[in-house]
């Protein structure tokens, strides 16, 4: 795997320090800290309920921490104007929805809104960005199709394209491979890697440990609202850690082609 474009000397694009967040009496996150830089693809791993999606929402400014600080390109995303946040950060949520049956091209064009004037009249730059995003996400042949006529996986790719058309500096992906077949899962992870190599800071919530290990530069593992591991995939993905965090015994080996760690459930014969 090639080295990320970002380096230890660059200022973090995303910085989370000592963050606690609660839903009522329930602590979803407790004293969480991590950072991500431009040119870096960081995967957030952990079982359901670990706090991964909550952390992404805090980075996007959709909620504010009860304690600690969140900084997005230096600004407080919860306090900054939404348009200012949208100019630097694009979020592909876990269950993206649109209320009206827009076409694919219209939905992707919505990603250009933070860069348009009050009348939202698309310029040639807007059309070019949208066309590039459609091509990157293999959606050109569906550009005129209505969203309600697409499969769940196709709609997921539309919202990924909308985020790319936004031309953000930080790309947040909440389960970007959900509902996708294997080919499009690999394509989504490849697009995220290409975006990072192009200088974006990419942070993604992921459940497939093998895809995360193959694609990400760095992994952050959360369990019960706390960071329990952080580092390179080789160091983070161990059989002992997977058993402790996910409570599943696994076999841990290496991909014979790439050398990336691979884990498989160690199921006994029934």
Distance CA 54, CA 229 (A): 18
Considering only residues 97 and 260, tell me which one the structure prediction assigns the higher pLDDT: 260
Other CB atoms closer than 10 Å to residue 242's CB: what's the count?
22
Distance CA 167, CA 189 (A): 18
Write down the pLDDT at residue 7. Answer: 54
pTM (2 decimals)?
A: 0.87
Distance CA 173, CA 56 (A): 8
Summarize pLDDT for 87-101 with one digit per residue, the tens.
999 998 877 776 678
Summarize pLDDT for 144-156 with one digit per residue, the tens.
999 988 887 788 8
Residue 234 has pLDDT above 90, yes or no: yes
User: Are 212 and 228 contacting, i.e. CB atoms less than 8 angstroms apart?
Assistant: no
Pairing of strands 26-36, 14-23: antiparallel
Write down the pLDDT at residue 44. Answer: 97
DSSP 150: S
From 45-54, 55-64, 101-110, 121-130, the region with the lowest mean pLDDT: 121-130
Distance CA 222, CA 34 (A): 11
Give the residue-averaged pLDDT of 104-132: 84
Other CB atoms closer than 10 Å to residue 68's CB: what's the count?
17
From 13-27, 83-97, 109-123, 235-249, the region with the lowest mean pLDDT: 109-123
- For residue 111, name the pLDDT band (cuts at 50, 70, 90): confident
What is the pLDDT of the chain when averaged over all its residues?
A: 89
Write down the pLDDT at residue 118. Answer: 65
Domains of the chain, first to last: 14-265 (3.40.50.300)
* φ/ψ (deg, to 5) at 91: -120, 130
């Amino acid at each position: 795997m090639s080295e990320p474009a970002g380096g230890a000397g660059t200022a973090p694009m995303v910085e989370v320090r000592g963050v606690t967040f609660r839903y009522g009496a329930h602590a979803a996150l407790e004293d969480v800290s991590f950072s991500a830089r431009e040119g870096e693809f960081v995967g957030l791993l952990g079982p359901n309920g670990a706090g991964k999606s909550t952390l992404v929402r805090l980075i996007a400014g959709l909620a504010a921490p009860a304690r600690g600080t969140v900084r997005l390109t230096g600004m407080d995303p919860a306090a900054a104007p939404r348009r200012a946040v949208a100019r630097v950060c694009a979020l592909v949520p876990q269950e993206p929805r649109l209320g009206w049956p827009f076409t694919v091209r219209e939905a992707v064009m919505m990603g250009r809104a933070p860069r348009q004037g009050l009348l939202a009249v698309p310029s040639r730059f807007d059309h070019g960005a949208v066309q590039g995003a459609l091509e990157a996400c293999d959606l050109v042949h569906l550009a005129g199709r209505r969203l309600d006529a697409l499969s769940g996986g196709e709609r997921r790719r539309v919202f990924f394209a909308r985020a790319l058309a936004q031309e953000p500096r930080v790309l947040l992906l909440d389960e970007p491979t959900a509902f996708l077949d294997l080919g499009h899962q690999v394509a989504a992870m490849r697009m995220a890697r290409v975006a990072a190599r192009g200088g974006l800071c990419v942070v993604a919530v992921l459940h497939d440990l093998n895809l995360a290990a193959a694609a990400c530069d760095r992994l952050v593992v959360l369990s019960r609202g706390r960071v329990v591991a952080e580092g390179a995939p080789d160091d983070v993905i161990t059989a002992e850690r997977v058993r402790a965090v996910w409570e599943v015994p696994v076999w841990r080996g290496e991909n014979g082609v790439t050398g990336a760690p691979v884990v498989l459930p160690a199921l006994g014969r029934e």
